[in-house]
Structure 1
Amino acid sequence: MSANKPPLLGNITPIIPAGGNMEKAIAFYEKQLGFTKIHQEGNPIRMAIVKRDSAEIILQQNDDRHLAESTTFLIQVDGIAELYEEFLAQDGGIIHPNGKLESKPWGMKEFKIVDPAGVCITFYELERSNN
């Protein structure tokens, strides 16, 4: 590595509380959000990794509802309108009532879902500048 080359950060993989029922959490991420389980640990399952495209999430058994409801993260998307329609078509109930698809003043088009444990996930796409 060159001494003049600055460090480059890559993808982030959050570890999130998945509630007390890991099977239910994994099923939600697979069936509702289109992720695939790529790893799991424990019998019963204590931890699982789910992935969709470049987005990877580590689900950790933890039924502290307060912790889950205080956890939020964003996933960048190319094709936000199509993803929103995908989620509406299968179960529009996963879209947060205050998180419908809309453009925000900070230059993002976004929508929110809440998983069964209470974790809020914002899917967003950067909007093109008119400059």
Structure 2
Amino acid sequence: MLTAIHPKLPMRNKRVTKDFYLNQLGFQEVGQTDFPDYLMVRRDAVEIHFFAFRDLDPAENYGQVYIRTDAIDSLYQSLLDRNVSIHPAGPLQAKAWGQKEFSVLDPDTNLLTFGQPSDSTVNPTPRLP
């Protein structure tokens, strides 16, 4: 039986990645912390792992994670309050596929998209006839 998934994303610098996820996004470090080439972070039920990839070219990184939440408005506001840079093409908005979403890029350009099902109180994207 499958019970969870923990995506692994590349990182160039553990200190920079750790600082971003802990101090900007509110995650906590978990697991063994003495491995220089590996990092594990968790926030609520979401856990993300990182592996060292020092030669990573951020412009060629296509790492992506979709994270579901049940409090998208307050999460979005908390990141704005921490001055987290929201992806230029990813501000909080209702999408045609029934999700309310926003996105951020981490220091290695891994794309994190946060989403919650839209409801009737959200200003949905108009559907074309």
Counterpart in 1 of 2:3?
10
Amino acid aligned to 2:10: P
Query: TM-score if structure 2 supplies the norm length?
Result: 0.84
Query: TM-score if structure 1 supplies the norm length?
Result: 0.83
Counterpart in 1 of 2:126?
none
Unpaired runs of at least 5, structure 1: 1-6
User: Once the 2 structures are TM-superposed, how far is the Cα of residue 41 of structure 1 from its aligned partner?
Assistant: 4.2
Contact 2:92 2:101 (C-alpha < 8 Å) held by counterparts: yes
1:65 corresponds, among 29, 52, 57, to 57
1:91 corresponds, among 77, 83, 87, to 83
Query: Percent identity over the alignment?
Result: 32
Runs of 4+ aligned residues of structure 1 deviating over 6 Å after TM superposition are none
* Partner Cα distance (1:47, 1:14) in 2: 13
Counterpart in 1 of 2:38?
47
Bigger mean CA offset, 59-68 vs 106-115: 59-68
Aligned-residue RMSD, C-alpha: 1.9
1:33 corresponds, among 25, 38, 61, to 25
Contact 1:65 1:118 (C-alpha < 8 Å) held by counterparts: no
Matches within 5 A, 1:90-109: 90-92=82-84, 94-109=85-100
Counterpart in 2 of 1:75?
67
Bigger mean CA offset, 54-63 vs 111-120: 54-63
User: Once the 2 structures are TM-superposed, how far is the Cα of residue 36 of structure 1 from its aligned partner?
Assistant: 0.2
1:89-113 deviation digits (Å, cap 9, x = unpaired): 1114x21011000000000000000
* Partner Cα distance (2:10, 2:79) in 1: 22
Change (3 A) 1:54 1:75: same
SS at match of 1:105: coil
User: Once the 2 structures are TM-superposed, how far is the Cα of residue 68 of structure 1 from its aligned partner?
Assistant: 6.5
Aligned length: 119
Bigger mean CA offset, 56-65 vs 108-117: 56-65
